[in-house]
Amino acid sequence: MAILEILQYPDPRLRIKAQPVTKVDDALRKQVEDMYDTMYDAKGVGLAATQVNIHLRLFTMDVSETRDQRVCIVNPEIIHKEGTQYEGEGCLSVGGGAYDKVERAMKVRLCGTDLDGKPIEIEAEGLMAVCFQHELDHLNGILFIDHLSRLKQQRIRDKIAKDKRREQS
């Protein structure tokens, strides 16, 4: 079991656009295992490779309450979006207790491959659809706070800076 360091906003590495995975091998599967360990340890529902400084297009996810329904999508792409929802979102890479509603599609259809390189297509709605859109954003260097007003973003930055000063004093 390995817990990886989760990059924290405003770390510029969170802005790197991830590259497509060209080969699914044992080394990559090991990295994914570490990502699951890290995600469960941090009590997150999703973790994009970008967040642990691996700039490849894949993410891990588990939106179940029982924490035993793993989803890992390699080279994910949203091929269909439908409707609108506004759900509260937070992120393991954004401190300061940041949590706010973001406009997302209600339903999405996502394609990609699994860890055996087999093509998969998943349709999701509600929380799972939010999570897919949030993680895919990470792979493009986008954070959920980018969707908020500039005033809200400033408040989050102030809170993070304040927390950091408190930690250091």
Least CB distance to Ni ion at residue 26 (A): 27
- Residue with the CB atom nearest Ni ion in the bound state: 91
Cβ-based nearer residue to Ni ion, 6 or 74: 6
Cβ-based nearer residue to Ni ion, 4 or 91: 91
Q: Are 124 and 111 in contact (CB under 8 A)?
A: no
Task: Check if 135 is active-site.
Answer: yes
Cβ-based nearer residue to Ni ion, 25 or 64: 64
- Residue from 65, 123, 135, 167 carrying the catalytic annotation: 135
The single residue listed with the structure tokens 């304040």 is 162
Amino acid, res. 157 = R
Least CB distance to Ni ion at residue 119 (A): 25
Least CB distance to Ni ion at residue 21 (A): 19
Angle CA(9)–CA(10)–CA(12) in degrees, nearest 5?
Answer: 110
Binding site for Ni ion (CB under 5 A): 91
> Would residue 59 be called left, alpha or beta, if left means φ above 0 and alpha means ψ between -120 and 50 degrees?
beta
Output the DSSP codes for 135-156. Answer: HHHHHTT--GGGGS-HHHHHHH
Q: Which residues carry out catalysis? A: 135
